[in-house]
Amino acid sequence: MTVEESELPGVGKKHVVELNGEQLVIVTHNTGKREVFRRPDSDTDSEKLFELSDDLARTVGTILEGAYFQPVEAEKRETTLPGGILLEWYEVQPGSPLAGTTIGDAHVGRKTGASIVAIERGGATVESPGPDTEIQEGDTLVVTGTSEDCDAFERLLAGEE
């Protein structure tokens, strides 16, 4: 990412940020006001996106910088579907008792009530895997069920049941 800075005599400074072929132009006035423009490429005119006061620009800047909130990756991904059913993703860790077994042989549904609805493996997704589909270490299993079903599945996957 390239950031160019230039003086605007009597006005303030201009920063041009290259963004995937486009440019984001930020003009900081000596008064503190910031104007933000978008330019599809260096040969076209800029389109003004918005203007911020000095205080608001500093607040937005600290938010973008991460001073207000630093995102963290959740240990567990889950989505709640209508009716309270969960859709969760579980990685098959080395040594999991499910690694090397087929979905049918693991009896996931009978033992936990949960269902494996997809498998993410090597950048590809196996949709609606059948009972003959082998579970492998490193697979990410997409599982649906109630909260209790998913908890039971997690224990089965970890070899705690």
Q: Which of 38, 65, 92 is the last residue of a domain?
A: 65
Is the residue at 119 inside a domain? yes
Is the residue at 131 inside a domain? yes
Same-domain pairing of 82 and 143: yes
Rounded average pLDDT over 150-160? 92
Is the residue at 70 inside a domain? no
Is the residue at 28 inside a domain? yes
Same-domain pairing of 92 and 40: no
Rounded average pLDDT over 59-79? 71
Q: Which pLDDT score is estimated for 115?
A: 93
Is the residue at 42 inside a domain? yes
Whether 80 shows a pLDDT value over 80: the answer reads no
Q: Which of 14, 34, 65 is the last residue of a domain?
A: 65
Q: What is the mean pLDDT of the chain?
A: 88
Cα-trace Rg, the chain: 26
Question: What domain range is 48 assigned to?
Answer: 3-65
Same-domain pairing of 95 and 133: yes
Q: Which pLDDT score is estimated for 37?
A: 95
Whether 76 shows a pLDDT value over 80: the answer reads no
Q: Which of 44, 65, 86 is the last residue of a domain?
A: 65
Whether 77 shows a pLDDT value over 90: the answer reads no
Same-domain pairing of 88 and 137: yes
Per the confidence metrics, is the pTM higher than 0.85?
no
Is the residue at 71 inside a domain? no
Please name the helix (run of DSSP H) or strand (run of DSSP E) that holds residue 103, with its range, or none. Answer: helix 103-106
Whether 66 shows a pLDDT value over 80: the answer reads no
Condensed to tens digits (0 to 9), the pLDDT of residues 13-51 reads 999 999 888 999 999 999 999 999 999 988 889 999 999
Question: How many domains are contained in the chain?
Answer: 2
Q: Which pLDDT score is estimated for 96?
A: 93
Q: Calculate the alpha carbon distances from 119 to 89, 95, 108, 137 in Å.
A: 9, 18, 14, 11
